Structure formats: C-alpha cells, structure tokens
Structure 1
Amino acid sequence: MPVLLFVPSGTLLSASSRYRVYQYLEPLRRRGFRSKLLRYPDTPSPIRRLAYFARLACIAPLVDVVVVQKRLFPRFLPILRRLNPRIVYDFDDALFARSSAARQAGMKRRPSDGSAHNAQSLDLMLRLARHVVAGNEYLAAYA
C-alpha cells in the first residue's frame, strides 16, 4: 500500500489546505493509499521548529512520496531531497511576487518586502521537487 506524507500549510480551517490537501485524503484512502499528515507548528519557536524537522527527517525516508503544500523550507529542502527525492510541491499563491503595499508604493523587490527571499526559496523548491502542482496557469508558467 503506497504511503503519502502530506505537509500542509494549515489546518482544516485553512481554505487553502482544506481545498488542496484535506479533501483528497478520503478518496486516496479508498484507492488504497495511506496518508500521514505532518503540519508545521502554529507557534514555530526554535525548539518546536527543530522537533518538527527532526520528525520530518525520520518520516520522509519511510514514505513513498512527500507532498509539500505551499510551505518553503530553503535550509532543510536539500536534506529532505536526500532523504526522499520523491517530493511533490503544491502551491497556489504567487509567493514570488511583491506585496501589494510594495507594488502600490512603486517599490522594487527588496529583502525587507520578503518577496525576494520567497522567490529564491520558491525557485529552490521548484528545482528540487520531482513534480509541481500549480494552482493556476499564471503559477504554472512561473514554475
């Protein structure tokens, strides 16, 4: 029985995670897939973050596919890729774009906006993922 590890960006209360992850769990189960969920902590203190990545490092080699929804792990991603190269990345936001406030102010992309860091992290995620699921054609063109 194939095992999928989902790394959703939110809970069932989060529309994005509900639409892009949680709604598929039962249909996948009916088709013979086992699914595990490992959600990023709501309050990512350094200790919780370390515990989260330690758990992800333990589980990732044991599953058939790791499905990451929206979350960007630039420092941990190369390690995750070595532990399990079968990574599917799902995103539905233009994480690479400048914020609307920065755009309205006419500012170019810059680190304090966060978009430059997000764009670099997203590019790394897109490069290292085996498959990418984009939320729309605009995002697919970027991917």
Structure 2
Amino acid sequence: MKREREEWEKQKQEEKTRREEEEEKREREKQISVEQIQRLKSEMERIIREKERIEREKQEQLEDSEKRLTEERNMREDQQKTLEDKQKLLEEQHENELKRRRVECREEYERENEEIKKKKICSETDHSLQDLFMSLLIC
C-alpha cells in the first residue's frame, strides 16, 4: 500500500508539475500574443500618423499651389490692366497729336490762303495800276 501511495503521490506530483508547465506555457504564449498585439498596434499607429502627415503635406502643397496660382492670376490681371491703360494713354496721345496737326495744317492752310489772296490782290492792283499808268502815258 505504501508503494501505491507513493506511486499515487508521484503521479499527483507529475500531474501538478505538468499542469504548472502547461500553465507557464500558456502564460508565455499569452505574453507573446500580448507583445505581438502591442507591436501591431504600435505599427498601426505609426502608419496612421504617417498617413496623416502625408495628407497634411498634400493639403499644404495644394494650398500653396492655389495661392501661387491666385498670385499669378492677379499679377497677369494687373499686367493686362497696365497694358490696357498704356494702350489707352497712347491712343489718347495719338489722337491729341492728330488734332494738333490738323489745327496746325488748318492754320497753315489759312495763312497760305491769305498770302495767296494778298498776292492776288496785289497783282490785280499792280495790273490796274500798270494799266492806268500806261493809259496815262499814252495820253
């Protein structure tokens, strides 16, 4: 009986040891699983942060591009307005120059016309005087 008792005790002890080993194994596996889960969570968080960073950079680039395009458009509009203003000014200057030349031409024409009239009157007067003088000489 003692031997059976020892055998039973031994089996009981082996069973206890086996259960403890299995429990330790489960605990190690559980710890490994927890560590793996933690690594995966960390990796996911890193990926999410990286994705958010990339998205922010893209948004900033888009805003910068929109701002640059707006500035370029405004600059072109300003240039266009400046060119239109210059063109208008040049057209006004040209028109004023044409008016001035017309006035000068008209004044010149009138002066020349006056001169011609004076010469004609003088010439007619000269002829009349010559005729008169000739008639007086003949008499």
Q: In which range does the TM-score fall when normalised by the shorter chain?
A: under 0.3
Taking structure 1 as the reference length, the TM-score comes to 0.13
Higher share in helix: 2
Larger RCO, structures 1/2 (Cα 8 Å, 6+ apart): 1
The structure number with the bigger radius of gyration is 2
Higher share in strand: 1
Taking structure 2 as the reference length, the TM-score comes to 0.14
